[in-house]
Structure 1
Amino acid sequence: MKDLVRKRARITRVRSAQHLLAASAAASAEAQVLHLESNAAKLASLRDSLTVESGTTTGAVLQNRGELAQRLDKARDGLNSAIVSARAAAEQKVAERLEARQRQESAAKLDARAVQAMADWTEARVTAAFRPKILKKQGNY
């Protein structure tokens, strides 16, 4: 009985550690998504800052700004696919975290049941020691 309680406690500790790892991975994936989205917003802001003010400008300035704008757009488009894949990975990590949490809760319930069973068994043994023994009448042989 004690071995069962120890085994269930060990399983509970392992499941708790697994949940912590899954939660950490999910948080990391979410942070990656936020980082990529922040970079995309910065690229968009840079792109918007390339507008030409009214007035006289040279063709070289227009060409340089146009080329830089194209590069920023291309980089932002590349980030969009990275953001989509990072979101999918983050959703997968969140699902894994939820599954790990369910396993942790299940293991905790089993551990609690094993502890209660051990307590009941111990109490039954202790009370059994104090029960009066009924002496059987010995017959004549």
Structure 2
Amino acid sequence: MKAMAERRARVARIRGAQHLLAAAEQSNADAKVAQLEMSVTRLAELRDSLTVPVGATSGAALQNRGELANRLDKARHSMGDAIASAKVLASQRAAERLEARQKQEGAEKLDARAGQALAAWLEQRSAVPFRRRPGHFEKGDY
């Protein structure tokens, strides 16, 4: 009975650690999505900052700005797939965290029940009066 309670407590601790690990992985995946989205926003801001200055401008300067704007647009649009896959991974991690939390809660309930059962068993055992076994003598019995 005591071994079962200890085993249940160990399982509850392991499930708690698994939930913490799943939470950390979800947090990392969410941070990756936020980082990629921030990068896309920053690329858009850089692209928008490439305005043509007022006044005389050479053709080479215009061509350079146009080329840079084109590259920034391509980079921003190519990040769409990376963001989509990062979001899918983040949602998978969220589901894994939820599953780990459910397992942790189940293990905690089993641990609590095992503790209650052990306490009841010990109480029941202590309520039974002590009986001497045949063949065993105490002082004064000889």
**TM-score after normalising by structure 1:** 0.89
Alpha-carbon distance, 1:83 to partner: 0.8
Give the superposed CA RMSD: 1.3
Task: Report the AA paired with residue 114 of structure 2.
Answer: A
* Alignment pair present for 1:107 and 2:107: yes
Runs of 4+, deviation exceeding 4 Å: none
Question: In structure 2, how many angstroms separate the alpha carbons of the residues matched to 1:53 and 1:81?
Answer: 34
**TM-score after normalising by structure 2:** 0.88
Question: In structure 1, how many angstroms separate the alpha carbons of the residues matched to 2:7 and 2:69?
Answer: 62
Q: Once structures 1 and 2 are overlaid, which stretch shifts more, 45-54 or 87-96?
A: 45-54
Task: Report the AA paired with residue 21 of structure 2.
Answer: L
Question: In structure 1, how many angstroms separate the alpha carbons of the residues matched to 2:129 and 2:49?
Answer: 87
Alpha-carbon distance, 1:129 to partner: 2.1
Question: In structure 2, how many angstroms separate the alpha carbons of the residues matched to 1:95 and 1:64?
Answer: 47
Task: Report the AA paired with residue 54 of structure 1.
Answer: V
Deviations 1:104-141 (A, max 9, x none): 000000000000000001001111127xxxxxxxxxxx
Matches within 5 A, 1:27-66: 27-66=27-66
Task: Report the AA paired with residue 33 of structure 2.
Answer: V
Alpha-carbon distance, 1:74 to partner: 0.8
Over the matched positions of the two proteins, sequence identity in percent amounts to 58
Unmatched tracts of structure 1, length 5 or more? 131-141
1:82 paired residue number: 82
Deviations 1:18-69 (A, max 9, x none): 0010000000000111111111111000000012133321111111001000
Unmatched tracts of structure 2, length 5 or more? 131-142
2:119 paired residue number: 119
Question: In structure 1, how many angstroms separate the alpha carbons of the residues matched to 2:78 and 2:128?
Answer: 75
Q: Once structures 1 and 2 are overlaid, which stretch shifts more, 70-79 or 108-117?
A: 70-79
1:133 paired residue number: none
Task: Report the AA paired with residue 12 of structure 1.
Answer: A
2:4 paired residue number: 4
Question: In structure 1, how many angstroms separate the alpha carbons of the residues matched to 2:129 and 2:37?
Answer: 70
Q: For this pair of structures, how many residues does the alignment match?
A: 131
